[in-house]
Structure 1
Amino acid sequence: MFCGIVSGAVPSVRVAEDTATYAFMDINPGSDGHLLVVPKRHSRDLLDIPADDLASVAVAAQRIARAVVTELGADGVNLLNCCGAHAWQTEFHFHLHVIPRYADKSKDGLRLPWVPGVPGDTRKVADLGNRLAATLA
């Protein structure tokens, strides 16, 4: 679907475009102004996307986030990527959601299922961190 949007075969409301990225309005928005930024070159997900395309998407998302705060009066912005079916990825073309957040809840229907507040087991957190650090060393 997103390759079709980038090519123009599938209609979209284009918000921004450059040589590497395409940004368009989400048709199932979580809030007023919710949009997606995708690389023009197809990548399945966060694990597949080349670093240069990921950087281009991040730069475009930052530019767009500034615009939603300035133009739409958003009080904050969430960036969201879902990588894999168990992480709610439903469209297997890497994309980054830019979701404006508002104090005025009539503009903001997004409710995330994770609510931080319960501290994790410190030993488990340290063990997982050490395992990842060793893998990345």
Structure 2
Amino acid sequence: MADCIFCKIADKDIPSKTVYEDDEIIAFHDLEPQAPVHVLIIPKKHIASLDDLADDDGELIAHLMLKIKEIAKDLNLEKGYRLVNNCGEDGLQTVKHLHFHLLGKRKMTWPPG
């Protein structure tokens, strides 16, 4: 999608501090980190949100989820981490491209938000 900032990052039109990339997904540091480690993981395919997943996106999402544990290990998040997806207006999704926040290296609080 031409006006999507995350598509531009995936296409290398906007630089990012990438921590992982393959043909289907990219993970990069958030510009406004909410924890000492704050990485965004996105599919390169434009999908607006979890609500917009299609049946044929199952393998892509499984791949993304399975890579998260590897990314967390590479980032030395051995004491744990939080994975967050904001979906829709009330979920405070600000970028309309499916993405997951991987947060770590600090004790998380509950309840969130």
Query: CA 1:87/1:19 → structure 2, altered by over 3 Å: closer, same or farther?
Result: same
RMSD between aligned residues: 2.0
| Structure 1 contact 57–96 (Cα < 8 Å) conserved | no
Alignment match, 1:81: 85
Q: Which is greater in Rg?
A: 1
The answer to whether 1:37 aligns with 2:44 is no
The runs of at least 4 aligned residues of structure 1 exceeding 4 Å deviation read: 110-113
Unmatched tracts of structure 2, length 5 or more = none
AA paired with 2:60? Answer: D
| Structure 1 contact 15–23 (Cα < 8 Å) conserved | yes
Higher helix share: 1
Unmatched tracts of structure 1, length 5 or more = 104-109, 116-137
Q: How does 1:62-101 map to 2 (within 5 A)?
A: 62-69=69-76, 75-101=79-105
Q: How does 1:1-137 map to 2 (within 5 A)?
A: 1-49=5-53, 50-69=57-76, 75-103=79-107, 113-114=111-112
State how many pairs are aligned. Answer: 106
Normalised by the length of structure 1, the TM-score is 0.70
CA distance in 1, matches of 2:111, 2:16: 28
Normalised by the length of structure 2, the TM-score is 0.83
AA paired with 1:102? Answer: R
